[in-house]
């Protein structure tokens, strides 16, 4: 088990199998060691754990849990791209967080913090990343949060 997986285990996180795409795209693309992970939804055991708009039908706690689930799914894709060894990740470069928001909701950054914090805890210094957290009108399948990650493999 990798050091990263040991850290995740201590945080109570079990890495699932990588999600299968639900449309016409691939889970990630490796461009000479720079890997772009497709958007990850808050799916646990094959089901969305939340639906709706943050600030309306989805509260802050539920939205943060959804962001964490997205991060766990992104880590599953990262593990797959890294040949099963998360210690092969040199750097998490960027996290993009999209939050389906009620028009009056302006705390998208606090929702996405949950994902950023998990990735930083798991990957340590290599997990410190640039980020964007934006509000959007809607997301696929009425998900409240979607994340995308860019990282670099050791080579």
Per-residue pLDDT of the chain (155 residues; tens, 9 = 90+): 899 999 999 999 999 999 989 899 999 999 999 999 999 999 999 999 999 999 999 999 999 999 999 999 999 999 999 999 999 999 999 999 999 999 999 999 999 999 999 999 999 999 999 999 999 999 999 999 999 999 999 97
**Collapsing DSSP states into helix, strand and coil, what is residue 45?**
coil
Q: Which of 66, 110, 118 is nearest to 92 (CA)?
A: 118
Decide if 81 contacts 32 (C-beta within 8 A): no
Give me the residues paired with residue 40 across strands: 147
- Second CATH level (architecture) for the domain 3-10+31-153: 2-Layer Sandwich (3.30)
pLDDT digits (tens, 9 = 90+) for 75-84: 999 999 999 9
In 3D, which of 135, 78, 151, 139 has the Cα closest to residue 101? 135
Q: What is the DSSP letter of 51?
A: -
Angle, helices 3-10/108-123, rounded to nearest 10 degrees: 130
pLDDT in the model for residue 89:
98
Query: What is the reported pLDDT for 20?
Result: 87
CB 79 within 8 A of CB 37: no
Nearest CA among 106, 14, 116, 23 for reference residue 68: 116
pLDDT tens digits along 67-112: 999 999 999 999 999 999 999 999 999 999 999 999 999 999 999 9
Structure tokens at 98: 């999209």
Phi (first) and psi of residue 129, to 5 degrees: -135, 165
pLDDT of residue 25: 97
Q: What is the pLDDT of residue 155?
A: 77
Q: What is the pLDDT of residue 43?
A: 97
The torsion angle over the Cα atoms of residues 53, 56, 61 and 62, rounded to 10 degrees, is: -40
Q: What is the pLDDT of residue 22?
A: 84
**For residue 1, what pLDDT is reported?**
82
């Amino acid at each position: 088990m990798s050091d990263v997986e040991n850290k995740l285990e201590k945080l109570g996180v079990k890495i699932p199998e990588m999600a299968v795409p639900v449309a016409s795209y691939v889970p990630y693309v490796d461009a000479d060691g720079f890997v772009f992970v497709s958007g990850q939804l808050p799916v646990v055991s094959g089901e969305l754990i939340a639906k709706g708009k943050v600030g309306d039908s989805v509260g802050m706690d539920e939205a943060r849990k959804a962001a964490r689930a997205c991060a766990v799914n992104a880590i599953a894709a990262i593990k797959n791209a890294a040949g099963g060894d998360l210690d092969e990740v040199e750097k998490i470069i960027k996290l993009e967080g999209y939050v389906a928001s009620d028009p009056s909701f302006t705390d998208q950054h606090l929702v996405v913090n949950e994902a950023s914090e998990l990735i930083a805890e798991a990957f340590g210094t290599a997990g410190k990343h640039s980020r964007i957290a934006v509000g959007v009108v809607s997301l696929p399948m009425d998900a409240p949060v979607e994340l995308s990650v860019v990282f670099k493999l050791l080579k």
